[in-house]
Structure 1
């Protein structure tokens, strides 16, 4: 039977995760530490004997699977001889899928339709309660909060997609640079230095507006350095293999700094040199569309499409939806209506008919490699 290839599918269900861990001899490290709303197991792995404690969790949003794959890659790396110094310096507590119900359905929320990353104070959900219990009992020195972001984000006010984004969350409404934030910023600087070699100018920084209901903000307010990781888009890479690799490299880079006690060598000013994310991008830009119903007219317009990701059977479908056109927006894929063969014979009798036919045609294209 063919082994599971995590690069083949953005959908990463709890069943697939369990099977992958078993196939790769990682499941023996697993403990079930709780259950979800619908009774699915929430797993953890506790690895290392060192005094520096690092808590990592992923997929608290069930449709953000890329960083779970990166976390599993790091998990496997810890079983190699090269990682022995990390295990003697650090103890890692990893929760690879905090929201298994959302992961099964490919939804951001849990089974009660609650965003777990807005439940840090109320703790209304069993998954949120579990994470808090682990935080209190493990008492980590550092927290890695692993997420995924949409294709709309650019690295700064550019048209370069933010393949990776980071945030050192605020600890209060004044966005004070506390000691915990400083350490988180230094770790981000270290990781950025590493991955700029591979994805130059494609690293972004999230806005640091304070929200105590967000887990990262809450943990930072408790003086625990917490880093938000966001796996984003790379050109033509909807499978997010590049983002997976870059998050993996970032985790290793940060852990090496923690293990080697070199944190203070990274200046916090460099954190603010990372460009803040903008929402400049959409998936497809269709230009030079003749929207006239008259054969004697040549009224050309540009249309912008954004893909909605939805679970369909055992995979994720990317469904194009038309977005409002703005000169500030840029398509990750740009198609000339007049030159692309699939649009040449397109017939429409009304504006509604035009939009419908354009959307259907976009959905038929292999947008990974639009010619």
Structure 2
């Protein structure tokens, strides 16, 4: 089975990039081919509708939700790619719909999506509200969980570009976690199902992005939704869409999320899970904060009248300006920075740093500078 070809055939081309709002997905949910399976299940803080999409007649019930954090949109794109697949009429689609009942919430936090913020309109992180349930979006997610009674939960997120795969120097393009259900981080039957499934997905992904799959720390936090659902006895998988080289719009990563979703359901439908794959799960390297978007090495800097050779780094801030996401690079640190990597690296070979400010790469300063007045950088990137 050619999973990349299936992605190309089912990719929802009307949604692209990082800024995905309710206005972008509403036309998809209102399509004639989908709308009979679409329901408005509640409203956000600002009164925006929260939609569900349910399809399939299979015994195994799958609960998926995306954009719990409004600025994490990659998995929303991949979820619509998958929805296209199960509506394709193919033999694979029929097999999946006979095996599973899918219940999707494509955008749990439409207010945060519009504002491009992690939190909702009340500035609450919904992924820390699973116990208190203070927000309408949290209550909707929990009510569906209790009524639908899923066999598996898929908690779909994005992660920042700072994460790498341990100390390998490779970005964590996709990461997973089978959340803990108690403080001791023990493995019971329910959690083992999530662990086994992630181990299977990892084997598939290694064929496409070898060494670029990470595993999140499993410290227990009952306020997180994944930990809560695992505690309540339902196998829960956390998906994190991360960085692929030069893919800041996350259009490449979206493909690997689609492949991960599809692989997980093929594995489950074929009962292709051995009894215990915990060792293989634990062999997935842990995520580590080791990356910056830009790293400039061996730069000569005039520091209080003394010239030194050092390194500095810059990081993008994703800023919503005129309904578009702008990637603006700001300097964040100067120093040896041993053990860190840049998604873009430049060796200055001792060239002197200069800018229009004070000729020093100060923190939070825009990354506009030159080196020996020969190499000029605007927004972190060399222009000549």
From 62, 74, 77, give the equivalent of 1:66.
74
From 330, 340, 349, give the equivalent of 2:341.
330
Unaligned runs of 5+ in 2: 1-11, 370-375
Partner of 1:200: 210
Equivalent-residue separation in structure 1 for 2:113 and 2:193 (angstroms): 31
Q: Would the aligned equivalents of 1:170 and 1:220 in 2 still touch at CA under 8 Å?
A: yes
Equivalent-residue separation in structure 2 for 1:73 and 1:52 (angstroms): 21
**Cα offset for 1:313?**
1.6
Unaligned runs of 5+ in 1: none
- CA deviation string 1:240-279 (max 9, x = no partner): 1221111111111111122223333662221011001111
Instruction: Work out whether 1:218 is the aligned partner of 2:206.
Output: no
* Bigger Cα displacement from structure 2, 80-89 vs 112-121: 80-89
Q: Would the aligned equivalents of 2:368 and 2:377 in 1 still touch at CA under 8 Å?
A: yes
Partner of 1:364: 378
Partner of 2:138: 128
* Bigger Cα displacement from structure 2, 142-151 vs 350-359: 350-359
**Cα offset for 1:292?**
1.8
Task: Figure out how many residues of one structure are paired with residues of the other and give that number.
Answer: 363
Say which structure is richer in strand.
Answer: 2
**Cα offset for 1:5?**
3.8
Partner of 2:6: none
Q: Would the aligned equivalents of 1:61 and 1:107 in 2 still touch at CA under 8 Å?
A: yes
Q: Would the aligned equivalents of 1:305 and 1:321 in 2 still touch at CA under 8 Å?
A: yes
From 305, 326, 330, give the equivalent of 1:317.
326
Partner of 2:296: 286
From 154, 158, 164, give the equivalent of 1:144.
154
Q: Would the aligned equivalents of 1:257 and 1:263 in 2 still touch at CA under 8 Å?
A: yes
Q: Would the aligned equivalents of 1:10 and 1:315 in 2 still touch at CA under 8 Å?
A: no
Aligned residue for 1:299, secondary structure, equals strand
Aligned residue for 2:367, secondary structure, equals helix
* Bigger Cα displacement from structure 2, 35-44 vs 23-32: 23-32
CA 1:240 to 1:71, structure 2 compared with 1: closer, same or farther past 3 Å? same
- CA deviation string 1:50-75 (max 9, x = no partner): 11100000000000000111111111
Equivalent-residue separation in structure 2 for 1:94 and 1:339 (angstroms): 54
CA 1:30 to 1:339, structure 2 compared with 1: closer, same or farther past 3 Å? farther
Say which structure is richer in helix.
Answer: 1
From 58, 74, 81, give the equivalent of 1:50.
58
Aligned residue for 1:291, secondary structure, equals strand
Q: Would the aligned equivalents of 1:189 and 1:266 in 2 still touch at CA under 8 Å?
A: no
Equivalent-residue separation in structure 1 for 2:348 and 2:62 (angstroms): 51
Q: Would the aligned equivalents of 1:172 and 1:221 in 2 still touch at CA under 8 Å?
A: yes
Partner of 1:110: 120
Equivalent-residue separation in structure 1 for 2:39 and 2:67 (angstroms): 17
Aligned residue for 1:292, secondary structure, equals strand
Partner of 2:43: 35
**Cα offset for 1:370?**
8.0
- CA deviation string 1:289-321 (max 9, x = no partner): 2212799x7532211111121211222112222
- CA deviation string 1:34-55 (max 9, x = no partner): 1100001111100000111000
**Cα offset for 1:4?**
5.9
Aligned residue for 2:63, secondary structure, equals strand
From 294, 300, 304, give the equivalent of 2:313.
304
Aligned residue for 1:183, secondary structure, equals helix
